[in-house]
Amino acid sequence: MSRALSDAERGDWLRLARSENVGPVTFRELIRRYGSAGQAVAALPELARRGGRSGVRVPGATEIGRELAAGEALGARLVCACEPAFPPALAAIDPPPPVIWVRGEPEALARPAVAIVGARVASAAGQRFARGLAAELGQAGLLVVSGMARGIDAAAHEGALPTGTAAVLAGGVDDVYPPEHRVLYERIRQAGCVVSENEPGRAATARDFPRRNRIISGLSRAVVVVEAELRSGSLITARLAAEQGREVLAVPGSPLDPRAKGANDLIRQGAAICEGAEDVLRALEGLGAVREPSPDPFRGDPAPAEADPGLRERLAGLLSPTPVSRDELVRATGAPAAAVFAALVELSLAGRAELLAGGMVEAA
């Protein structure tokens, strides 16, 4: 799938990725439909109009130039999902983020990786376990990935600093959160890398954290949950890892500690028990290689030049807050799959549908 992009093409990819209502699924479908990001960007206003919206925000060349300049000033590198430097494990998820910013050593992301995540308000014992586990996994040649949050995340990064670690941020690649992790951030950057799909200078919002978690699991062959309450972002990371075909492990804890309930529940649901690095290494041996991406997930058969207006409205009426597969919508409408996909992209750009990973769709 890998191919080099020119500076102009990379700018087009970034412009399309930053356009309103263009998520990873819509991005991929647009590239498949039009063959290039530049042509897709040019088509966006008309596609949104067909979907029932008068316009859609598309960043101009000046705005994209500012983002590229900001990244360059940080010494960060923009990597597009079709480029050889894009992390292979992340390229294999469905679909990958269109672009990521990497500050530090992008080559580190080519190493096999394990994510260690857990509670922000973590126990001293949990932090000690995470720190030791990360150190041992690093010594075994694995890259340790986490989210640089307080508690378990920070402990995992600290344990892996001698061998290399990657922090995935919800904000821009320079958005240090929490602020007291500034020194840790600099050490991670020097010992490995910092990753974000958002533009430099952007502060994280609540909606950015699930997307951040998807990248954490996507970069990794396995995810280890050390401590987590039942309603925890770490459990979102574990669920995403399972959906991506990664191994999920959890550290068992006392039933008297609320921070152990999430991890213990994962074990009840089938997650492997992690009592040390040997359990993680054994799980990786049984997992096999991360599945390879298709020869070119951004290339496909051209869709119809314009979806039928009646089909668009029928599809809009079939959507609800409950996700449904695109194949089910094809069966329900009796229309060709290419026409259904084209109409869904137009509804997505109009803000009337949400295209989800795994071929699912819901009402926006």
pLDDT tens readout for residues 166-221: 999 999 999 999 999 999 999 999 999 999 999 999 999 998 999 999 999 999 99
Q: What residue segments make up the domains of the chain, in order of their start?
A: 7-98, 104-287, 309-363
Token duo for residue 250: 């959890």
Do domains 104-287 and 309-363 share one topology? The answer is no
Picking from 146, 159, 151, 201, the residue whose alpha carbon sits closest to that of residue 176 is: 201
Q: Give the model's pLDDT for residue 299.
A: 61
Query: Is the pLDDT at 287 greater than 80, yes or no?
Result: no
Q: 104-287: which CATH topology?
A: Rossmann fold (3.40.50)
What architecture (CATH level 2) is domain 309-363?
Answer: Orthogonal Bundle (1.10)
112-162 per-position pLDDT tens digit: 999 999 999 999 999 999 999 999 999 999 999 999 999 999 999 999 999
Of 293 and 68, the one with more pLDDT? 68
pLDDT tier for residue 54 given thresholds of 50, 70 and 90: confident
Q: Which residue has the tokens 């597969």?
A: 325
Query: Is the pLDDT at 324 greater than 60, yes or no?
Result: yes
Q: Give the model's pLDDT for residue 338.
A: 87
pLDDT tier for residue 76 given thresholds of 50, 70 and 90: very high
pLDDT tier for residue 260 given thresholds of 50, 70 and 90: very high
pLDDT tier for residue 288 given thresholds of 50, 70 and 90: low
Average pLDDT along the chain: 92
